[in-house]
Structure 1
């Protein structure tokens, strides 16, 4: 069941993607969801708290996708599942993907950075842990887990960036197949 707060967050995401943080206002969000501006303030103290909650929800949603990969039986299977979950997040939660990975307004990031550092580093740490597991069991050769995780995340993010920017156009299934092959190529270069 969608709550008023969820509807407000969704509208804030839409406006943020169209106009950026500076173009987002409580009045615009209220108008988009057919509420009075006063009604928005019942849920969010101000524009900054609304922006903060949009980012927190995005990070929380991304983490919920990544956590599903822990069902894999082996470290390498968990790493492959993490890549699949990144794909699922980017294609099923495209608003949050764009906000978190492509359009985050760094001119206002400082105002929310302190509160979001933990949320923002969860995915990086999650991938580092998966990579470290693979190195410990011998699936991947020994290397710096942080740098290898960064390589994998950068590859995934760059792949989706090409599609979001409309530089590549494929069906979802073609995109999924290319993504799987791309990730496999990278992992094959890292295997023992």
Structure 2
């Protein structure tokens, strides 16, 4: 049985690890994967590079761990929807959950889906097992669509669960990333957030199945989490 001091050391180790991951995520999103070094991550949190290497083998390992943990969080969010028996209704709920996840966690989302970086081979991932519906968010989506196909709910044109999964993912990602980057744009007369989200998912699902799912509530995101574009400094006029 672990002693109190062992428990404390374990908690401290996890806290340091989280601090490193948070700093790395912020830097990767702001500067891009290639422009960030382990030394810069260490400097951001006033640690030595040696301390970073104690927790992570190298920069590739660091970003792999960041991404794997975020994917696991998304899978856990999807897990709560598995008790919905109707797979088409569940599919729309998953789309809503995905949008909500992205807009509540913009830095996490940008790192996962909007920041180019080397990807890890599935067999080397030690956090998520590919194809395990308890850990793999994509597998939960794929199985939901496979279930709907088996029930005869999908059009004959879209019987490939991989294709249908990637279509749904593309649609919700498009809306999430657009809203994330343009939420403050006064040029766009934005319609209510939930109305757009419902329409995106309805049109996607109708196109795949011919069925119109019910409208769903979705709280407006906190726009303060969406970064505003920095205004260019006005130069001094020259005569």
1:139 aligns with 2:153: yes
Alpha-carbon distance change, 173 to 133 in structure 1, aligned in 2, over 3 angstroms: farther
Partner of 1:45: 57
- TM-score scaled by length of structure 2: 0.68
Report the 3-state secondary structure (helix = DSSP H, G, I; strand = E; otherwise coil) of the residue aligned with 1:71. coil
* Rg (Cα) greater in structure: 2
**Among 197, 200, 203, the residue aligned to 1:185:** 203
Question: Any residues of structure 2 matched to 1:10-159 within 5 Å, and which?
Answer: 10-105=22-117, 108-109=118-119, 112-114=120-122, 115-116=124-125, 122-142=136-156, 143-159=159-175
Alignment gaps of 5+ in structure 2: 1-10, 211-239
Aligned residues: 188
How big is the shift at 1:8?
A: 0.8
Report the 3-state secondary structure (helix = DSSP H, G, I; strand = E; otherwise coil) of the residue aligned with 2:82. helix
RMSD: 2.9
Task: Output the CA distance in 2 between the equivalents of 1:138 and 1:183.
Answer: 19
Alignment gaps of 5+ in structure 1: none
Partner of 1:163: 179
Task: Output the CA distance in 1 between the equivalents of 2:39 and 2:191.
Answer: 39
Task: Output the CA distance in 1 between the equivalents of 2:95 and 2:200.
Answer: 11
